[in-house]
Amino acid sequence: MGIDHIHAGALPVTALTAWQSLVKVAAVGVGQRVLVHAAAGGIGHLAVQIAKARGAYVIGTARESKHAFLRDLGADELIDYTTTDFAAAVRDIDVVLDPISGDYGPRSLETLAPDGILIDVRGTGPDRTAVREQAHARGLRFVEFGFTPSGVDLRDIATLVERGSLQAAVDQVLPLEAAAKAHELSETNRAQGKIVLVP
Q: Which is nearer to ligand NAP, 114 or 149 (CB)?
A: 149
* The residue count for the chain: 199
For ligand NAP, the closer CB: 55 or 83 = 83
Q: Give, for 194, the enclosing helix (H) or strand (E).
A: strand 194-198
Least Å distance, CB 56 to ligand NAP, is 19
Nearest distance in Å: CB 41, ligand NAP: 3
Count other C-beta atoms under 10 Å from residue 132's C-beta: 16
- State the CB neighbour count (10 A cutoff) for residue 163: 9
Exposed / middle / buried, residue 106 (Cβ in 10 Å: 0-12, 13-18, 19+): middle
Output 94 or 120, the one with its CB closest to ligand NAP.
120
At its nearest, how many Å lie between ligand NAP and the CB of residue 30? 25
What is the rounded CA–CA span in Å between residue 35 and residue 57? 9
Nearer to ligand NAP, 29 or 123 (CB): 123
Report, in Å, the least distance between residue 92 CB and ligand NAP. Answer: 20
Looking at the Cβ atoms of 137 and 166, the one nearer to ligand NAP is: 166
Q: In the Cβ-directed half-sphere of 66, how many Cα atoms lie within 13 Å?
A: 24
Smallest gap from residue 102 Cβ to ligand NAP (A): 9
Closest CB 86 distance from ligand NAP, rounded Å: 8
Secondary structure of residue 12 in the 3-state scheme: helix
CA distance 6 to 198: 8
User: Can you tell me whether residue 94 is helix, strand or coil?
Assistant: strand
Contacting positions for ligand NAP (CB under 6 A): 13-14, 17, 37-38, 40-44, 61-63, 66, 81, 99-100, 121-123, 145-147, 186, 189-192
Q: What residue type is assigned to position 65 of the chain?
A: S
- Residue closer to ligand NAP by CB (options 115, 187) is 187
